[in-house]
Amino acid sequence: MTLFKDPAYNFSGLLALGASGQGSAEVGEVLTAVNSINKAGLSAQTYVETFSKLGDRLMGAPEGAKPDEQTTRFRALRAAQYYAQALFFVLGSDDPGSEERLYKAGRGAWDKFCGLCDPAAVKANVPYEKTPLPVWFFRPDESTTRRPTVILTNGSDGQNVDMWTYGVQAALERGWNALVYDGPGQGQLLFVDRVVFTPTWEKVVTPLVDWLVARPDVDPERIALTGLSMGGDLAPRAAAFENRIAALVAMPGCVAPWLGFPSQIREILQPSKEETNNIWNEEVVPELPADDAATIKKRFEPFSVQAMLGAREGKMFTDFHTPAKRVEALTITDVVGRIKAPTLVLDYDFEQFYPGQPRELFDNLTSPKEYVKLTAAIGAQLHCSPMAPQQHCEVVFDWLDQTLSVR
């Protein structure tokens, strides 16, 4: 299962390869890109260049006959995937300042794909504090039949195309509606509007539910909420306070995202902001290897506009304390018991970011619950089953269909 020797690049490459089964990548395109990167020498620069050029190529006209709408549509979806691949590592490249441009390229590809769906995804802005939430609402058809609907919540560094892979297509094939959105710290709200993550995710989900129940094609009694990656913390937090959620899926279960950071990073955080930042700036930053510095910039940018803007200039942020406390504030152990909705908690063999946390979430739930571990025996190991999103969706939607008595 090794595409790249570096685990971070390998995981990202596996996500792209696995997405091929849902049409949001192509095996040959991904493996050709992998070979090109390895031949040139794996680095952030070669990775970003290779995948961004692949996205550019797919957004252009293909060779041969004029493409029909389906060709154009799925080329745009794959382009969104490849731009997302480049975006993830751009802060470690020679041009970190191109981050917003790369995001917008991927967003443009995603919007093009959504507009060519049949029916086209409904695009809207849902009111939220000072910055509206962009949403994309997918329907099997344009009738006013009230259907079960799933709200798909992304994680700390995913893009909209991942929601197609991990839910939209599966939902549509089963006669469900699906809602994709950017919340604080995600997509447009992060890269353009500069709004970072909030620990009170129910304030994000409640206006989405309000928007959905006002539609004639949504069954208000059958609204499900899923959370992918760090969304496995955000979605349960929302469901603890938003009682209109009829079913909840945590993929994987997560109760403390801060514990997903290496212990050496967590140990920097002290009660005193001044002491914390002195340790960070005087003892840690000067000794950081370039690759580790790029990783830290990426992981902290959704929690600090200063970190994001500094990283785009090739600089390391100086205030460690503030974003670290924001990550720490996402801990939900004290509210899990409030969740009333039936809940499916997923776990994975060799879960590398939140080991042990899915079981902790499951054990603390008092609502009807089920725990499923996806395993290496079926090729579904690692965080979010990067090589098996189809199996992943089968597990999730079989449970949702049964729980909400859809069939």
Q: How far apart (Å, rounded) are the C-alpha atoms in residues 132 and 188?
A: 10
Q: Specify whether the CB–CB gap between 187 and 198 falls below 8 A.
A: no
pLDDT at 133 over 70: yes
Give me the pLDDT at residue 49, please.
98
Give the type of residue at 73: R
pTM of the model: 0.98
> Read out DSSP for 197-237?
--S-THHHHHHHHHHHHTSTTEEEEEEEEEEETTHHHHHHH
Question: Which residue intervals of 242-349 are DSSP H helices?
Answer: 263-266, 273-278, 290-300, 305-312, 321-328
pLDDT at 72 over 90: yes
Contacts of 107 by beta carbon, 8 Å cutoff, 6+ apart: 80, 160, 187, 188
Q: How far apart (Å, rounded) are the C-alpha atoms in residues 167 and 152?
A: 7
pLDDT at 25 over 70: yes
Instruction: Tell me the torsion sign for CA atoms 88, 90, 92, 93.
Output: positive
At CA 293, angle to CA 289 and CA 162, rounded to 5?
Answer: 130
User: 180-235 pLDDT, tens per residue?
Assistant: 999 999 999 999 999 999 999 999 999 999 999 999 999 999 999 999 999 999 99
Q: Specify whether the CB–CB gap between 123 and 131 falls below 8 A.
A: no
- Report the mean per-residue pLDDT for the chain: 97
User: 348-374 pLDDT, tens per residue?
Assistant: 999 999 999 999 999 999 999 999 999
Q: Specify whether the CB–CB gap between 54 and 29 falls below 8 A.
A: yes
Closest C-alpha among 336, 376, 371 to residue 252: 371
Predicted confidence band of residue 301 (pLDDT cuts 50, 70, 90) = very high
Residue 55 burial (C-beta neighbours within 10 Å; 0-12, 13-18, 19+): buried
User: 304-356 pLDDT, tens per residue?
Assistant: 999 999 999 999 999 999 999 999 999 999 999 999 999 999 999 999 999 99
User: 237-265 pLDDT, tens per residue?
Assistant: 999 999 999 999 999 999 999 999 999 99
Q: How far apart (Å, rounded) are the C-alpha atoms in residues 339 and 248?
A: 9
Sheet holding 147-153, edge to edge: 122-126, 133-138, 177-181, 147-153, 218-228, 247-251, 343-348, 369-374
Dihedral-angle region of residue 356 (phi above 0 means left; psi in -120 to 50 means alpha; beta otherwise): left
- In the DSSP assignment, the letter for residue 121 is P
Predicted confidence band of residue 406 (pLDDT cuts 50, 70, 90) = low
Give me the pLDDT at residue 88, please.
98
- In the DSSP assignment, the letter for residue 270 is -
Look up residue 324 and give its two tokens: 């670290």
Contacts of 261 by beta carbon, 8 Å cutoff, 6+ apart: 299, 327
